[in-house]
Structure 1
Amino acid sequence: MRTDLRARLLPGLTGRVFLVTAAIVCAVLAAALAAASVSARAAAVRDARRGLEQAADLTAQLLAGRGRSLAGGARVFVQGPYFRALVAERRRDDILDQAFEGAEQLEADWVFITDERGVLLAKSDEPGAAGEPMAGIPLVAGALEGRVTTGFGASRDSVLFQTVAVPIVVPGAAPVGTLVATRVVDTTLARDVQAATGTDVVFYTLEPDGRRRVAASTMPRDAAAALLPASNAARVDDDRYLTQHAALVTAGGDPVGGFMVVRAAAAIPTGLAGVRRSLLVAGALGLLLALAAAWLAALRVTRPTRTLAAAARAAIGGDYVTAARTARDAAARTSPDEITALAGALGTLLAELREKELLVAVLEAAAPLPVAGAPSDAPAAGGSAAVRTRGALVPRRATHPAPHRAPRIGGTLSPGDTFAGRYAVQAELGRGGAGIVYRALDLLVDERVALKLLRPELLATDAQARERLIRELRLARRVSHRNVVRTHDLMEHDGTPFITMEFVEGASLGTVLRARGPLAAHTALALARQLARALEAAHEQGVVHGDLKPENLLVRLDGLLKVGDFGVATLMRRGGPAAPRLQLAGTIGGAIVGTPEYMAPEVLLGSEPDVRADLYAMGMVLHACLSGGTPYQVDTPRAFLARKLDAPAPRTPDAPTALTAVPGDLHALVADLTAPDPDARPATAAAVAARLARIA
């Protein structure tokens, strides 16, 4: 049940990719919105903090202006001659009346007057007070020196007041006294500040122990008292507030209180809600676009996968052509990434499976093929060890010869012989210009191998035969590729050098062509592609085959082409004086080594073979596959040499009527490969492989 539900909720790889991508997009978008919201909140708090600082500055300016206004009125009041005379004469009753009148005119809460020594003469709020020395108070001391002084003071723990002192000056003389006017900082002032700044304000006094007491506030007294200990922010009844403090000092600079401007955090983001709404709207639109992009991305990612799955299904059904075409289309439609690499690899694999299928069909149709052990001119690097059963080639079961016999006198071996005490000979596979090849069983590892012995008569006539065989192995072992017959060991027994090689279950291309005749163009193409890959691997190692022909091309029972017999292979010239040179075409006992029908004209004339000589031979092999033979079909060797060396090769294969459907670009490739002039041929096997890949 859970699996079915998952299948409905996650419809295939596309749905899962979409959900994963959408989840990532949503998480990223949510994180971005959260970060934007936090950032906006922090910006709003910073703005609010700057606003509080400005409100505190404005409050301080309002208090300063209030002090200047009070000082200005006091200075005007003390200018009257009558008032100065009363103070100078110390007429206390009249001075007390002047204190009452001054408080009324200055709208002060109280006024007191001192003489020139700072002794209290009268005080409006305490009519009986007199004779108290006040010269030690900085406010009064400054006025006695002729200056207008201002400051703040506190009384009765919670009364905060603003006060000014002006000197009472007689022209041309020292001050005869001072007038001190005081206004209490009350709720009315706090409300005026609130109206001017747009924030709540709390005025407070300072006790000697540093505690703060509310003097006046625009907030409820309890809430204001709760906020006083905070320096920047605090909570009251789950409400958060931002605060900004400023000190109030006496005329002597001693702090006696201060004020605090307050703003509720809930009121800070007046525009933050709009910002959040904009963020949410933008986030919703972004989410919709991101989900659409995620779906398109999921389709783009999974479309090649679905195409590759279709290719795999076609391959399972045996339709390798459709499967390979589908895989190539998937690779062409995707960008360069892992999916493209996978599609290309699958397309190559399916194309190779198709090639093998075509060659297997050719083997099955080429009946009857020689059974194991039958004489043939099979290649020296391997051979056919297969028999036909019910229309299909199957390998003959390995049998251990019993009893094992020593080889017969004369250097040749027969089935049942044991060579070198290790190799049980089962059949002779073929004879070439340099040796004889047998199918044998390696008794040490219980593995079937191809055993190649140098021809006995060549040992007697050619002193360089041993050296040539050693060179053959050294060169062949440098090439490691699935389309090349693998060479195992070089050893010697009783003076006879021999090579053990991979045994190929199948038949040579020469045997197939003799049994079946020309091949269809698509089958020849399949064979040519494998041959081009083998030559490319050999040439990359600096090895030239030198004797490429149908008899040296082995088609395994599973359709894999194997290139064998590097007996005439030579090391490509690397340039420089140390590079080895061949004698005329490579000779053994004065005879030309190689097959003249497939040899390039310049090699027949004694030039050193290079990669273009192998490509010429490849072109001749393709010609034989398409037409059933080479274009040089004459009666005598002299006529053959005359035609090959003197006349240009035909530009198209002499194909029978049945092969008129051979593509023109394949004709052109064969013509280029078999051009008499080496410079007119393709430069490398890789270039030939690329052209073959483009031929439909």
Structure 2
Amino acid sequence: MRWMVLLAGAWWQAWARWRGGLAARIFFAATLLVVVVLGLTFGLTSLEAHRTVDESIRRALVGRRRGVQAFLAGRTTALAGMSGASVQVPQFRERLLQRSRGDVLDQAEEYRHLLGASWVLVTNDRGLLVARTDYPAEFDIDLSRGALMAGALSGEQADGAWLDDRAQRLYMAVATPLRASPDAAPQGVLVAAYEVGDTLAQEIKQASGSDVVFFALDTLDRPHVVASTLPREDIERVLVADTAALRRLQQDSAGVGLSAQVAGEHLVGLAGPIRSAGGSVYGGFVSFCSRDAELAAFRALPRTILIAVALGIGLALVIALALARQA
């Protein structure tokens, strides 16, 4: 700091002695011009760098959002394929259609282990619950009104989100009609589901390299986190504070942007919906990336310009010192 004070003093001394001369005026005008130009260059470059980073983050988030959707679609397709193949086995199908509810529940539990599903349920041809592995005491509940079950009862395999309000958990479910042949009327429906939980979120992070948060929406469209690779308490506050933005997922197919501060880091995210078989938004996910990390690659350029500004000012002060000594 001392040398800066000395040089500034020399500059002021030179100006005091030479302010009446044409050479001094030209010198100081040129110095001021250099400083202004370098300062403007620094500001414009910094602004352009931030704009470039924001565009880069947006493109990256769009790609990661598609990656999450593809991951979920792939997992659901695999579950649907295994379910469809299983119900083609007559012995398996007949055991699920037995009158003994205990036998049906046992067979459903075996099937759940075979698929690695979170739960499995079976209904009769009217959509009445026969057995469900995660709530074994429940039966004779009418499930035919939902789009997922209605599609399977009409003879078509269907899939979509399934929200368990009691456990506050979100699942992806596949409903497969139980019938002897493709032309036969369904005798019942088999539903298998996997949970959208922390394990799934970690698998997606390993595959995509980005943090992801899954949330479910309650009846008032308020979000609550069901899975996350980020601290739940921090990220849930962000989602609750931006409930209005998440409501736009009902119509916005391009995704909804979010911003969060987590552990002192500025995160930028893009949300996507998770829909039921009928198209209703039951929840969604947000892919996040660090804006600070993306900016790190651009910080070297503004730093270089800042050094150039400092060198320009320093050179001007040295010249001012030389002029002051000659006077």
TM-score range, shorter chain: 0.7 to 0.9
**1:165 corresponds to 2:210:** no
**3-state DSSP of counterpart to 2:138:** coil
1:477 maps to none
**1:215 corresponds to 2:226:** yes
In structure 2, the CA distance between the partners of 1:187 and 1:277, relative to structure 1 (3 Å rule), is same
| 1:434-485 C-alpha deviation (Å, 9 max, x unpaired) | xxxxxxxxxxxxxxxxxxxxxxxxxxxxxxxxxxxxxxxxxxxxxxxxxxxx
Distance in 2, Cα, partners of 1:275 & 1:191: 35
- Correspondences of 1:19-98 after superposition (within 5 Å): 19-98=28-107
- Correspondences of 1:94-109 after superposition (within 5 Å): 94-109=103-118
**3-state DSSP of counterpart to 2:295:** coil
2:289 maps to 263
**3-state DSSP of counterpart to 1:132:** coil
2:323 maps to none
1:211: how far off?
A: 1.2
**3-state DSSP of counterpart to 1:268:** helix
Mapped contact 1:163–1:183 kept (Cα < 8 A)? yes
The gaps in structure 2 that reach 5 residues or longer are 1-11, 243-256, 321-327
Distance in 2, Cα, partners of 1:193 & 1:157: 23
**3-state DSSP of counterpart to 2:199:** helix
Q: TM-score, normalised by structure 1?
A: 0.39
**1:250 corresponds to 2:271:** no
Mapped contact 2:120–2:193 kept (Cα < 8 A)? yes
Mapped contact 1:246–1:260 kept (Cα < 8 A)? yes
Distance in 2, Cα, partners of 1:115 & 1:14: 100
Distance in 2, Cα, partners of 1:285 & 1:234: 35
Distance in 2, Cα, partners of 1:22 & 1:238: 40
| 1:256-309 C-alpha deviation (Å, 9 max, x unpaired) | 11111122221222411233345446x459949x97xx99xxxxxxxxxxxxxx
1:160: how far off?
A: 1.1
In structure 2, the CA distance between the partners of 1:157 and 1:211, relative to structure 1 (3 Å rule), is farther
- Correspondences of 1:144-155 after superposition (within 5 Å): 144-155=153-164
The equivalent position to 2:212 in structure 1, one of 191, 195, 201, is: 201
1:15 maps to 24
**3-state DSSP of counterpart to 2:269:** strand
**3-state DSSP of counterpart to 2:134:** coil
**3-state DSSP of counterpart to 2:75:** helix
The equivalent position to 1:142 in structure 2, one of 124, 135, 151, is: 151
**3-state DSSP of counterpart to 1:19:** helix
In structure 2, the CA distance between the partners of 1:158 and 1:133, relative to structure 1 (3 Å rule), is closer
- Correspondences of 1:315-330 after superposition (within 5 Å): none
Structure 1 or 2: more helix by fraction: 2
**One-letter amino acid of the structure 2 residue matched with residue 116 of structure 1:** D
2:259 maps to 233
Mapped contact 2:97–2:104 kept (Cα < 8 A)? no
In structure 2, the CA distance between the partners of 1:128 and 1:285, relative to structure 1 (3 Å rule), is closer
**One-letter amino acid of the structure 2 residue matched with residue 117 of structure 1:** R
- Correspondences of 1:517-536 after superposition (within 5 Å): none
Q: Which has the higher contact order (CA 8 A, sep 6+)?
A: 2
1:236: how far off?
A: 4.8
1:28: how far off?
A: 1.6
State the number of aligned residues: 290
1:10: how far off?
A: 5.0
Distance in 1, Cα, partners of 2:187 & 2:13: 106
In structure 2, the CA distance between the partners of 1:128 and 1:23, relative to structure 1 (3 Å rule), is same
1:84: how far off?
A: 2.1
- Correspondences of 1:126-141 after superposition (within 5 Å): 126-141=135-150
| 1:175-207 C-alpha deviation (Å, 9 max, x unpaired) | 111110011111111111112222211101111
Distance in 2, Cα, partners of 1:89 & 1:36: 73
In structure 2, the CA distance between the partners of 1:56 and 1:65, relative to structure 1 (3 Å rule), is same
Mapped contact 1:121–1:130 kept (Cα < 8 A)? yes
**3-state DSSP of counterpart to 1:174:** coil
Mapped contact 1:234–1:240 kept (Cα < 8 A)? yes
Distance in 1, Cα, partners of 2:110 & 2:167: 28
Distance in 2, Cα, partners of 1:48 & 1:187: 25
**1:185 corresponds to 2:196:** yes
**One-letter amino acid of the structure 2 residue matched with residue 214 of structure 1:** V
Distance in 2, Cα, partners of 1:4 & 1:277: 31
| 1:193-235 C-alpha deviation (Å, 9 max, x unpaired) | 1122222111011112221111110000111112214443244
Mapped contact 2:214–2:226 kept (Cα < 8 A)? yes
Distance in 1, Cα, partners of 2:70 & 2:263: 32
List, as ranges, runs of 4+ consecutive aligned residues in structure 1 with deviation greater than 6 Å. none
Distance in 1, Cα, partners of 2:304 & 2:62: 29
| 1:378-408 C-alpha deviation (Å, 9 max, x unpaired) | xxxxxxxxxxxxxxxxxxxxxxxxxxxxxxx
- Correspondences of 1:450-599 after superposition (within 5 Å): none
**3-state DSSP of counterpart to 1:272:** coil
In structure 2, the CA distance between the partners of 1:174 and 1:182, relative to structure 1 (3 Å rule), is same
**One-letter amino acid of the structure 1 residue matched with residue 175 of structure 2:** A
